[in-house]
Structure 1
């Protein structure tokens, strides 16, 4: 154990290590080679920036129909059909979500007089079905009371 009352020189205890290496300086790098205008023009022509393409509503419908027919005819998977149409999957699903289904586009609205007549007819049928249901429930309830001996 070390003697706590030892008040000797700290410098003597921590002697400089003669074997320790002095920190070395970093190697200096040469400056980067700057591209000339011709090299920059060539680099730009090799990879042009993709300009977003805007499709009209008619083009969207045509592409969706094309994809639908390819998938239905089992010419490949949905992903293959989307790729062959030249759009991304995200675009396909966005267009599909916003487009109206084919069956609903051909449907024309009914005139107001016919709609009102249909509504009245449905209301009458609804009332008739409610009364039938109420009668059945009353009969079932009476039968259960009779079985349990509550009447």
Structure 2
């Protein structure tokens, strides 16, 4: 709180101090250096790097088969066979992973008439055993309720 007994002039308390300097003008910065101009892009035919290719499923399977036969015959190592096929190792493993599930689905066969009869017989037996188990559990539960006096 302010001192009420002080009756000095307010103007003296608010008057600016002589030692405080006015803020100096901001220093001018030199302009930024311009970025280097990007080189114009070369035509696709001039680039030494291999362009990305798209292979059909048939071409993929053929290349995978070729690599597999070269490796199994023992002529070359896996890495060399992949290089000779003209693909990278990552591409080889991706293709191999995507081709396998398709082959596994194709190998799945339908059960024959005899197998269907066995399945039906097993389902019937399963149902019969479930009913027996349910009856046993009901009887046991009823017995426990009688012993505990809950009925």
Does the pair score TM above 0.5? no
Name the TM-score class by shorter chain. 0.3 to 0.5
Give the TM-score normalised by structure 1: 0.44
Give the TM-score normalised by structure 2: 0.44
